[in-house]
Amino acid sequence: MNQQADGLSRRAMLARTGLAAAALTAARVLGDAAPAQAAAQAAWRVPGEEAAHKRTWMSWPHSSTIWGNLLSKIQADIAKLAKEVARYEPVTMCANGSANAAKARTMCGSTVTVISSVPVSDCWIRDAGPLFRVDGAGNRDAFGLNFNAWGENATRFYGIPASAYDNDRTLARNLAASLGLPFARAAVVGEGGGIEYDGDGTLIATESCWINSNRNPGKTRAQIEAELLSRFGASKLIWVPGVTGQDVTDGHIDGTARYIGPGVVMVQLAGAVRPDVWTRNAQAIRDTLANATDARGRRLQVLTIEGPDTLPRIPSGQRGDFLSSYMNWTVTNQAVITVQFGDTAKDAAAKTAIANAFGRPVVQLNLDNLYGNGGGGAHCVTMQEPQP
């Protein structure tokens, strides 16, 4: 039985598995990746997530090889989130084949569109799906970040066969093709959850995800930075440290720091339930951003909230591995959807702070299975498609 079936978090500590922290060399060659030309692509950009959406994309988890006996609980949380997002903008769910599509339709209801024409492996469409760009003239295209199951950490952490994620390795290309959009593979490997973008020229990324031999062996920070800037249509990347080897993502930025809009970011300082390594990392990210300027020369305005101090619904032995992040929200056209953890005071404070920052209503859901057993959140399982 894989470790997910035993109930360990997707982001569980390497020490829990007894495996070394040494990174694997990326095994898959980027056959059609070519360095992007910044001058040629200057008009194209990935809009900030607060910009108008055409729809939200999601993908339906179906694999017992990946999830074991947790599958039905994860499906229930995905369905709950999809129905909530669909109150504010269209949602299209990719399901793997007709049988899985039928189950997704039953659980998600009539407000969610389910398609079976784009094969998927799992629910993490933020990491595996395409990033959509616009050019200001009504055109769109897309690119992919060559998803490789978080540097093949899914195999190292949980013993899940690499082949279990084969559909997600091609999800970005296949979804773009289904929409008839031009598509390109980036010349780097990474995930959408590993980078934040303001749509106005500035990116934020954790070094631990990108400058890592399990994703980009042999590439320098300057090479990775140049490629990301070109693909996103940006001119400045603010690097923050991150944490290597402590979770399957190697410290994605979207659990700690997020853009509210150009010039404004929010950072969650760890609550009492998080291990010290994450507390120190959050403070380091906050300090880096507070001293940074963006592509327009603005000193970033850094807002902070605090994570929960308790997770009353979660057994004490499982709290350290729980993604207790309000930051892993998903933005919709009319509301921001995040979570509540049962810490009444911290839940209320986070809701108020996020609502004030965005000027939009905030919905807090109980997604304990996704954030606990899954180790990811609402942002990890959604991908916005912008209006042209």
Write the CB contacts of 83 (distance below 8 Å, at least 6 apart in sequence).
108, 109, 111, 112
CA distances from 187 to 183, 231, 236, 318 (A): 13, 9, 18, 38
Structure tokens at 347: 């839940």
Is 46:143 a contact under the CB 8 Å cutoff? no
Phi, psi of 113 (to 5 degrees): -85, 130
**Catalytic site includes residue 380:** yes
Element of type H or E holding 271: none
Is 59:123 a contact under the CB 8 Å cutoff? yes
- Angstrom distance (rounded) from CA 362 to CA 154: 32
Structure tokens at 221: 């920070």
CA distances from 78 to 65, 148, 234 (A): 18, 22, 32
Q: Which amino acid is at 31?
A: G
Is 133:45 a contact under the CB 8 Å cutoff? yes
- Angstrom distance (rounded) from CA 159 to CA 95: 24
* 3-class secondary-structure state, position 331: strand
Is 223:72 a contact under the CB 8 Å cutoff? no
Is 306:343 a contact under the CB 8 Å cutoff? no
| DSSP state letter for 130 | P
Side-chain-side CA neighbours of 271 within 13 Å: the count stands at 25
Q: Which amino acid is at 276?
A: D
Q: At which residue do the structure tokens 């109930």 appear?
A: 7
- Angstrom distance (rounded) from CA 133 to CA 139: 8
Catalytic residue among 94, 123, 209, 380: 380
Catalytic residues: 380
